[in-house]
Structure 1
């Protein structure tokens, strides 16, 4: 006589999800608070990556608009350790380099501090300096005017000045005009223009720029340039950079420093990435705390639902099915927190980027990685409670008051 072997019913994936969601539906407030802990950690991670990436995207957009083919030449140090000087002919020598498309120069005027008026104490210079500037400086460096006009062939011969963005702010000057004057080297100069911040030439931000001619005649400027700016085609930048030192000072090329402003900006980006790594670490700590909250919720859920576990076991549910039920519940709880946190992080990034005027950029890997991290934490957090639930015998569970 043949006997039938009874096998426990198999749960389909949809049934597993339904059974796993029972604990979430019956205890919504506890589930919400546990998911919130996960969501805060994921939101922090996504927002940190998104804000940092959006900031770099804005910087890259600015560089693309200004161009990264600007090279600068400045004096270095002599063999004896003193401060070197660029020759008076260095600007013309650099301009002779064939791939160079434009050249301009800036010369610091010694002993020409900048003050709002003669009533300001001499010790309160504010870190501002006067520079002789060529009339084509603004076009070469990509600097833009916030208000007023730039130096031209006429105004560069008279006591007129254009202030950098920071210089104007420190001197308390909002708008240029015929009645707006500052004291430079003991003489009053009329402010005819104010610059916007110059990303590729930050030295202009704290400068009072005057004409080359008036600097020589009125402020005893010696005519030696302290910074030479060059532009060339992108394909020729590396070649031009390699010969700039020898061209600017053929007798002592080792006393010349050649730099690329975009390299300094790249260093800022590297520092920003390091700071981002620190903030990501804080987000990971928040995520870990959220995982502990999920584990705590699942352990309490097992203790409170011992009777339910015993009933299901007595009706034929296997240990594997019980284990799957509680593990699924933990994963669902983490998934809710992960998805909610990712959406919150994207929203925070979008609002902050909109406030700053940046493009909103959130790398897909940050969203996908954040959700994957929550699922991994959810699996680890729910593993022990699931195993503990599956080991309860039906009689032990049903005997629990």
Structure 2
């Protein structure tokens, strides 16, 4: 076949050429680009921030669990088999627990039917919900607690009328420093220490603790523990839990209730982010709305650039090249919104984590998944305008221009 009769072929567009023609529409209409990308950015920012805040909160809970440990169990009196029957633990319950294989440390508290007040001038019924408990010297170690101020009980001070306050009890009594005296059982007791918060023992946080020996001599304590706390090795927690009740009360194990204080934190960590599903859905809706905005922008762009499309077609551009041009433009528009949204979501997460003292955590899957979603939406949003542009007749397009 003669050379002049050979079918002409359109030149292929390289990657640089595709990016150049795809970005031409964005460069010529910057304000419209910003407004169109804003919807995508808001959707992605919402999704990144929701996942990031949820992950940061969960990371804090996991750090707290690692620090507090999940190997503490509490034994307390169970429910009475017959109505009106009072269930009590034996006086040597703590000693029996300490002999269970795998148990490392043991502490105990005993409830006292007493009320503590700031002074004798405060009415008896205004206690602020502060309970009084006897506490053994080993309790602080078992709870892994720390003293905010002052000192814990030892062999010397636990025999005298002294108290250690949980941090909530100290706040309710208005006490910030050791050495203050409070009114208990018609006499003054000296506060020798204030505890830091104890997430695994909220009942201790709201209590005023007296030494075990002082409670017996000064407050008529019968020596029966109400709660026995124990720490075991991580590997033996399950075995110890199965033995505690029978070890404390071999005749009636059902009289002993064994609980795991860390289970509440574990459940909270497991369910962290459940409410975030709703917010993720709202972010997804915002993202879809942003995609509709991108599609609308691209349709308007096609209508406004018919002359350009006709000119390119008349100069040999194929329908496929026109489609690639507008799909690329849609992808770049969505990609810009995705990048801006990711940055905004990360900044919002960082601000929340910093203000709340949380670790800053944004899962990689959230970033990659969110950005992939923007590209997918950009592709879908650009398909119809791209096909419509490629079907324009060069003659009619030039005539319309």
* Cα shift at 1:145: 0.8
Identify if the C-alpha distance between structure 1 residues 187 and 51 changes in structure 2 by more than 3 Å, giving closer, same or farther.
Answer: farther
Q: Aligned partners of 1:386, 1:48: CA distance in 2, in Å?
A: 34
The answer on 1:317 being equivalent to 2:311 is no
1:294 aligns with 2:294: yes
Change (3 A) 1:170 1:383: farther
On the 8 A contact 2:159/2:213 being kept in 1, the answer is yes
* Structure 1 range deviating more: 196-205 or 81-90: 81-90
Match of 1:241 in 2: 241
Q: Secondary structure at the match of 1:132?
A: strand
| Whole-Å separation in 2 of the counterparts to 1:109 and 1:299 | 78
CA pair 396-106 structure 1, distance change in 2 beyond 3 A: farther
Partner deviation per Cα, 1:315-367 (whole Å, 9 max, x = no partner) = 22222222221111111111112122222322332343333333322211111
Contact 1:130 1:184 in 2 (8 A): no
1:59 aligns with 2:61: yes
Distance change in 2, residues 1:42/1:122 (3 Å): farther
1:155 aligns with 2:157: yes
How far off is 1:123 after superposition?
4.8
Residues in 2 aligned to 1:185 and 1:271: alpha-carbon distance in whole angstroms: 44
Which residue matches 1:95?
Answer: 98
Q: Secondary structure at the match of 1:273?
A: coil
With 249-258 and 354-363 compared, the bigger mean Cα shift is at 354-363
Residue 121 of structure 1 deviates from its aligned partner by: 4.9
Tell me by how many angstroms 1:120 deviates.
Answer: 4.2
| Equivalent runs, 1:1-400 vs 2, <5 Å | 1-2=1-2, 3-80=5-82, 84-110=87-113, 112-177=114-179, 180-400=180-400
CA shift, 1:217, in A, is 3.3
- Structure 2 gaps of 5+ residues are none
* Greater Cα shift, 67-76 or 128-137: 67-76
Where 1:200 maps in the other structure, the secondary structure is: coil
Deviation at 1:279, TM superposition (A): 2.9
Report deviation, 1:122.
4.8
Equivalent residues of 1:294, 1:330 under 8 A apart: yes
Over aligned residue pairs, what C-alpha RMSD do you find?
Answer: 2.2
For 2:119 and 2:292, the matched residues in 1 are separated by: 63
TM, length-normalised to structure 1: 0.91
Does the 8 A contact of 1:105 with 1:226 survive in 2? yes
**Partner SS for 2:129:** coil
Mark the CA change 1:279 to 1:207 in structure 2 (over 3 Å): closer, same or farther. Answer: farther
- Matched pairs, number: 398
Measure the CA separation in 1 of the matches of 2:192 and 2:44: 51
What SS does the corresponding residue of 1:130 show, helix, strand or coil?
strand
What SS does structure 2 have at the residue aligned with 1:245?
Answer: helix
Partners of 1:143 and 1:394 lie apart in 2 by 80
